[in-house]
């Protein structure tokens, strides 16, 4: 156990995992606990949140699971109230939830556009709406929003317009909050992960294998393609995102505010 977040309370939204393995939120929750934080693990799938909490407890850490759909204002308000009732403060807010939908402006149904923006942007707005007053009253706080390199880069051949646009909105939201609350002791930064080997790949494989009867083959092709595209020859993992989140949540980044931290093995700097 470390002490970089000793005696602090961290809300990790999206602390469960969408499937077997380590997603960004699950890895971040465990990493925060390993560094001394009391972690409020929030997920729409409370069983997934409890799985993360069980891991933390087995390692001797402190955590609590909470079910919430963070696109609903009342549930976000209840989430914050429950965390305060449990531990009386909120020092770190880590926003991890996110979904995607393939298609360009012409192909993408309006309902899917709205759904992506609800999950990827509205949820961040709502958690900020209810957590910022708590942090302002405390006189300090650190917010970490998980965006994506898709907010600044759109590879040829992949139409992902709603995801691209929504993550760009997350960047702008992060910068706006950082500026507004800088003199109140609150920092707000974002992480832009690149190609990561997380359980979400399984859903991507499903999307790209709609015309194939062999899901396993599609999954293997997805892994191979993403590894080859990565400059290091392999994708990053949820732990790479988690380590970046720990840095931004801790006093190691005390003078870092409004920053968009790219974690992609150098993918975005390639011509």
pTM: 0.93
33 part of a folded domain: yes
13 part of a folded domain: yes
207 part of a folded domain: no
113 part of a folded domain: yes
Query: Which residue in 125, 160, 163, 255 is the catalytic one?
Result: 163
**pLDDT in the model for residue 17:** 86
Name the residue range of residue 86's domain. 9-200+238-264
223 part of a folded domain: no
What share of the chain has pLDDT > 70, as a percent? Answer: 93
Helix (H, G, I), strand (E, B) or coil at 242: helix
Q: What is the pLDDT of residues 235-252, one digit of tens each?
A: 999 999 999 999 999 999
Identify each DSSP E strand in the chain by its residue range: 9-13, 38-43, 62-67, 92-95, 141-146, 186-193, 196-197, 236-237, 260-263
4 part of a folded domain: no
216 part of a folded domain: no
Q: Looking at residue 102, which CATH number applies to its domain?
A: 3.40.50.720
213 part of a folded domain: no
3-state SS track over 10-59: EEEECCCCCCCCCCHHHHHHHHHHHCCCEEEEEECCHHHHHHHHHHHHHC
- Give the chain's count of helices (H) and strands (E): 9, 9
Is residue 163 annotated as a catalytic residue, yes or no? yes
**pLDDT in the model for residue 220:** 82
Q: Are strands 196-197 and 236-237 parallel, antiparallel or unpaired?
A: parallel
Q: What is the pLDDT of residues 175-193, one digit of tens each?
A: 999 999 999 999 999 999 9
Counted domains in the chain: 1
Distance CA 176, CA 167 (A): 14
């Amino acid at each position: 156990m470390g002490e970089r977040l000793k005696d602090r309370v961290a809300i990790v939204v999206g602390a469960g995992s969408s499937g077997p393995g380590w997603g960004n939120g699950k890895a971040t929750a465990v990493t925060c606990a390993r560094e001394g934080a009391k972690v409020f693990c929030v997920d729409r799938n409370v069983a997934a949140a409890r799985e993360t909490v069980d891991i933390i407890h087995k390692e001797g850490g402190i955590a609590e699971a909470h079910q919430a759909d963070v696109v609903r204002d009342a549930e976000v308000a209840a989430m914050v109230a429950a965390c305060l009732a449990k531990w009386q403060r909120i020092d770190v807010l880590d926003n991890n939830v996110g979904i995607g939908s393939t298609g360009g402006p012409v192909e993408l149904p309006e309902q899917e556009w709205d759904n992506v923006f609800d999950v990827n942007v509205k949820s961040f707005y709502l958690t900020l709406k209810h957590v910022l007053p708590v942090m302002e009253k405390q006189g300090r706080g650190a917010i970490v929003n998980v965006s994506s390199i898709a907010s600044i880069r759109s590879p040829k051949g992949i139409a992902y317009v709603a995801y691209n646009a929504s993550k760009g909105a997350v960047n702008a939201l992060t910068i706006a909050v950082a500026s507004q609350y800088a003199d109140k002791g609150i920092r707000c930064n974002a992480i832009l992960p690149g190609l990561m080997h997380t359980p979400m790949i399984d859903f991507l494989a499903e999307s790209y294998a709609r015309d194939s009867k062999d899901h396993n083959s599609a999954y293997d092709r997805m892994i191979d393609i993403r590894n080859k595209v990565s400059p290091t020859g392999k994708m990053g993992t949820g732990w790479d995102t988690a380590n970046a989140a720990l840095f931004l949540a801790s006093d190691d980044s005390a003078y870092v505010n409004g920053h968009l931290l790219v974690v992609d093995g150098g993918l975005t700097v390639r011509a």
